[in-house]
Structure 1
Amino acid sequence: MPANRAMTSTITIPCPHCDALNRMPAERRGHRGTCGRCGKRLFTGHPIALDAGRFDRHVAAADLPVLVDFWAPWCGPCRAMAPAFEAIAGDLEPAVRLAKVDTEAEPALAARFGIRAIPTLALFRGGREIARHSGAMSQATIREWVAGHLTA
């Protein structure tokens, strides 16, 4: 390797469509690339649905933070917060991936993370939970809460 070329660090971003792990130069982190396997956009501006099979692929294997909404279809506060969570996805991506876990369909995931109230937002970085909030939040509050925990 020539001496004038610095080593470029990479980040890993799972595809929200086919779950393939994509690597991109860290300096391109703010770009909305496409998947090397399926060719679809890596960031859609919408939360992705995670089940037990996809959870670790997107949370533990990714180099970007993931904000997970643990919710249930019968939960009134969950349904009330859903539009705000959907809308904030376009604002936070590509810096943060947003995901949803239906606790009724995925009780093992809810148990694994000790989810006792819904909606519960959990923020993960490097596969580890770094913050949690139970209860519905507005779009502005979600943005401030995430920013506060990622800059800390």
Structure 2
Amino acid sequence: MVKVIQTETDLSSALSEPATAIYFNSDACGVCHVMLPQLEQIVGTEFPKMNIYVVNANETPEICGKFSVFTFPTVLIFFEGKESLRMARNINLATFKQAVARPYSILFD
């Protein structure tokens, strides 16, 4: 299930989890709307203990600025509150899955 980050409190809560994916998108980005369901499916099947959060740049630009995200879509992966992976614009989902698999398995297996 995808959750929306709208406040700093939401962000703090998301980053306090052991594994978090934050997906940054924009209303004007067509690729963003296509990519999210695919990312949600991969995370749901391959990484079930990881939650996905969405930050809409049009609604919360200050959160985008906090992470220096100015290109969409962008995915940030956090393990234990620390940024582990950043993928932007041309996101290859096979590469994403491969990059997340190792730290995820170390944390949860």
Which TM class, normalised by the smaller chain length? Answer: 0.7 to 0.9
Q: For 1:32-43, what aligned pairs fall within 5 Å after superposition?
A: none
CA, structure 1 residues 149+132, in 2 after alignment: closer, same or farther (shift >3 Å)?
farther
CA offset digits 1:13-49 (Å, max 9, x no partner): xxxxxxxxxxxxxxxxxxxxxxxxxxxxxxxxx2211
Q: What residue number does 2:58 align with?
A: 104
Distance 2:5 2:68 in 1: 17
Q: Partner amino acid for 2:38?
A: A
Which of structures 1 and 2 has the bigger CA Rg?
A: 1
Q: Partner amino acid for 2:13?
A: R
Please, which of 51, 58, 71 is the counterpart of residue 6 of structure 2?
51
CA, structure 1 residues 115+79, in 2 after alignment: closer, same or farther (shift >3 Å)?
same
CA, structure 1 residues 87+129, in 2 after alignment: closer, same or farther (shift >3 Å)?
same
Q: What secondary structure is seen at the aligned counterpart in 2 of 1:80? A: helix
Distance 2:67 2:78 in 1: 12
> What TM-score results when the alignment is normalised by the length of structure 1?
0.60
Structure with greater contact order relative to length (CA < 8 Å, sep ≥ 6): 2
Q: What residue number does 1:87 align with?
A: 41
CA RMSD of aligned residues (A): 2.0
Q: Could you tell me how far 1:139 is from its partner in structure 2?
A: 4.5
The alignment-based identity, stated in percent, is 21
CA, structure 1 residues 77+55, in 2 after alignment: closer, same or farther (shift >3 Å)?
same
Give ranges in structure 1 of 5+ residues lacking alignment.
Answer: 1-45
Q: Could you tell me how far 1:82 is from its partner in structure 2?
A: 1.8
Q: What residue number does 1:120 align with?
A: 74
Q: Could you tell me how far 1:116 is from its partner in structure 2?
A: 1.6
- 1:71 and 2:71 equivalent? no
Structure that is richer in helix per residue = 2
CA offset digits 1:74-96 (Å, max 9, x no partner): 201111212202212321212x2
CA offset digits 1:58-89 (Å, max 9, x no partner): 21x22x11011111122011112122022123
Please, which of 84, 87, 94 is the counterpart of residue 130 of structure 1?
84
> What TM-score results when the alignment is normalised by the length of structure 2?
0.80
Give ranges in structure 2 of 5+ residues lacking alignment.
Answer: none
